[in-house]
Structure 1
Amino acid sequence: MKDKNKRKLWIKIVLCAFIIIILVVGVTFSYTYYQFSKVNTTIISKSDGDLGIIIEAPLKIHKNSRVKLEVPMQKEEVNEIINIALFGIDRRGVNEPSRSDSIMILSIDKKHKKIKMSSIMRDTYVEIKNHGGTKINHAYAYGGAQLAIRTINENFNLDIRDYVMVDFFKLEKIIDTIGGVTIQVNQDEIELLNSYMIEVANIEKREVCEVTKSGLQTLNGLQAVAYSRIRYTVGGDFRRTERQRIVLSAMITKIQSLGITEFPSVVSKILPYTETSMKSMDIIKLGTKVLTSNITTLEQARFPLDGYCKGKIMDEVWYLIADMDATADQLHNFIYEDIKPVPKASQF
């Protein structure tokens, strides 16, 4: 009789524990889902035509692009590699029309087990639908993310369907949310880094914690954003895009280190600071897939490459003129074929 009562007691204890676990998981999931519901999702067209995507097309030159489609994309390439456009906007107000100060392509390469980041120089001279030839960063101001994506796809023969956009004020909050990023700061960057921080601090009327030494260190959000904006050192805007990739790489590394259990809750806090065309659950699925697929290699490149571009002043405006055929081929090879681009010493 006592054994029977003990068994009943244990059954009750197990049932109670199970119910508590279900409630905790349910509350956690509900909170996470609630946080994800606050994501600023913007609907854009997903049709190939509207986004300038040509898949399994015959050999021809696209009417809005100077790129020869000699190697059209195949469906298997699209399934193995996911490309997402990343736009950094330097704006002061939410509704302020802005050019994309930073343009990157984040490629999740399941085939080669890599994450790749490709920066496109913002002054690159390209064709923009209904606007003719101008700087690539103007596309975002002319027609938002959809036109910016179309411009990248048409000029470089890519298949981007989604984007994430963040302005520099919100990027600061994202970096603070993940606990800062580890960056190697050089001596010639310190003064400019601090001056950018002071500029922002004066706008927001707050104190700053200045960087006082060079070397590997953890930067907070304000410091990291200021670092990514540095332009007037050796390398100019080319070096600036490299700094942006360094910050993004550090962020990805930090998020990857969280593990699959912490990922949803941390990302749910980050996403409200962004604007994206992706649905909340798609973001969770994609992130979980990356975390569970043992993708640990991060590679980065900048386009156009040295030796395949040159500066030119037209109508008193400085443009970066690129060998578009070569650049499209190099970008395509880097993303889809896993071939690292190689700059050349001779001038274009």
Structure 2
Amino acid sequence: MGKNINRMRNFKRILICILVIIFSFGISFLYYINRQLNNIVITPLPKDNSELGIKSNVNEGGVNENKIFEREEKQDNSILNIALFGVDSRNSKADVPHSDCIIIATIDNNHNKIKLSSIMRDTYVEVNGHGKTKITEAYFYGGPKLAIRTLNENFNLDIKDYATVDFKGLSKIIDNLGGITANIKQYEIREINKWIAELSELQHVKYTPVYRSGSQNLNGIQAVAYCRIRQVGDGDFERTDRQRIILKEIFNKIRNTDITRYPYLAAQFSSYIETSMSKSNIIALGSKIVMNNILTVDQQRFPVDGYCKAAIINKVWYLIPEPDLKALSKQINNYIYEDIKPIAKEPLF
């Protein structure tokens, strides 16, 4: 009996020692990652929902007449939306960038997936203080704050944070991941090489063209060039598809990377990212994705085929949501909050 008690005590001691070691390693690991994020540019956004264009479903007078349609408030943070912007600054401080890439990244804990919702850059929306124009202009006029406000006000969303990556920085991130895989179509080769040449010249690096079609590993500049293609296929519609493909591949690369390399990746990535999220929030978000084992990445483009039309207004080409902006907002909300994908129909043009 005494031997059994001693064995139990020894087992408890060993277990406690193991837990202490694991806990200490975890604290040290998180501290190290936190230090590696020191180079990230953090630009906080206002905490006031009204400044970010977030509508309240209910006010003192009852139902808010300005809201686009009914949606229950998510009090448990089960749905988290973050705006992702890809910009091309051309290395000039005087050249204010447009958001060539606009993606709403949704961490959907209800359905255990990440959703990537592309918004077409030419979509005709209301931009506060600037009237009706292309949604890409919002970033040009007021940076990420106005861009987020535009997304929230036009699509009845609750985005409070963003991350912006310059295309040069994106190429460096992809290189640090060892490149990404993409399936190049024959009709894309000429266009991708045109962009590779331009990006290589801007970054003063060797020009490495793509020689063949099919699935292949792309380096950073090649992958960014792939995202820039818009003059072939379905034009800008297909370009947003390519952007989501690259983003999904980046996520998969990070997910499949040994966790011990995360501090290294954090150090490499932080120099190329501007965000409103604090370092602690970034670590918490990453930990939540890992701990919840969120493996599925779903994607959608808005407006979808058959629910938009082209229009020339004052000699400028716009993409007009059909039948109206309210219908587009409902489709976006159904997808993000209810996991209901819109059904495309024959294009109107």
By the TM > 0.5 criterion, same fold?
yes
TM-score range, shorter chain: 0.7 to 0.9
Q: Does the CA contact (< 8 Å) of 1:171 and 1:273 recur in 2?
A: yes
CA shift, 1:34, in A, is 2.2
Q: How many residues align?
A: 326
Q: Distance in 1 between matches of 2:108 and 2:96?
A: 33
Aligned counterpart for 1:86 among listed residues 60, 66, 84:
84
1:259–1:291 Cα contact (<8 Å) kept: no
Q: Does structure 1 retain, via aligned residues, the 8 Å contact 2:112–2:294?
A: yes
How far off is 1:202 after superposition? 2.1
TM-score (ref. length: structure 1):
0.87
Partner of 1:142, secondary structure, is helix
Match of 2:3 in 1: none
Unaligned runs of 5+ in 2: 1-19
For residue 166 of structure 1, give the secondary structure of its aligned residue in structure 2. strand
The answer on 1:272 being equivalent to 2:300 is no
- The answer to whether structure 1 residue 337 and structure 2 residue 338 are counterparts is yes
Question: Contact between 1:55 and 1:73, CA under 8 Å: does it hold in 2?
Answer: no
Q: Secondary structure at the match of 1:164?
A: strand
Q: Which residue of 2 aligns with 1:236?
A: 235
SS at match of 1:223: helix
- Which residue of 2 is the match for residue 137 of structure 1? 136
Cα deviation digits, residues 61-116 of structure 1 (max 9, x gap): 43xxxxx522134133x610110000011111263311111100000000100100
Residues 56 and 199 of structure 1: CA distance in aligned 2, closer, same or farther (over 3 Å)? same
RMSD in angstroms over aligned alpha carbons? 2.4
> What CA distance in whole angstroms lies between the structure 2 residues aligned with 1:276 and 1:27?
24
Partners of 2:83 and 2:162 within 8 A in 1: yes
| Structure 1 counterpart of 2:46 | 45
**Match of residue 196 from structure 2:** 197
Moved more, 20-29 or 282-291: 20-29
Q: Which moved more, 1:127-136 or 1:23-32?
A: 23-32
Q: Percent identity, please.
A: 47
Post-superposition offset of 1:21: 10
- What is aligned with 2:255? 256
Letter in 2 for 1:305: V
- 1:206 Cα deviation after fit: 2.5
**Secondary structure of the corresponding residue to residue 178 of structure 2:** coil
Asked if the contact 2:68–2:329 (Cα under 8 Å) also holds between the matched residues in 1, the reply is no
Instruction: Report the CA distance between 1:178 and its aligned residue.
Output: 1.2
CA 1:328 to 1:161, structure 2 compared with 1: closer, same or farther past 3 Å?
A: same
The residue identity in structure 1 corresponding to 2:283 is I
Separation in structure 1 between the aligned mates of residue 188 and residue 104 of structure 2, nearest angstrom: 26
Conservation of the 8 A alpha-carbon contact between 2:57 and 2:63: no
| 1:346 to 1:184, Cα distance in 2 relative to 1, 3 A | closer
Change (3 A) 1:187 1:70: same
Which residues of structure 1 form unaligned runs of 5+? 1-18, 63-67
Shift in alpha-carbon separation, 1:25–1:337, aligned structure 2, 3 A:
closer
* Secondary structure at 2:122 match in 1: coil
Matching residue of 1:54: 55
Aligned counterpart, 1:117: 116
Matched position secondary structure for 1:37: helix
* 1:156 shift after superposition: 0.2
When the two structures are superposed, what TM-score results if normalisation uses the length of structure 2? 0.87
1:15 counterpart residue number: none
Give distance in 2, aligned partners of 1:22 and 1:342: 48
In the TM superposition, residue 237 of structure 1 has moved relative to its aligned partner by 0.5
Q: Which amino acid aligns with 2:200?
A: A
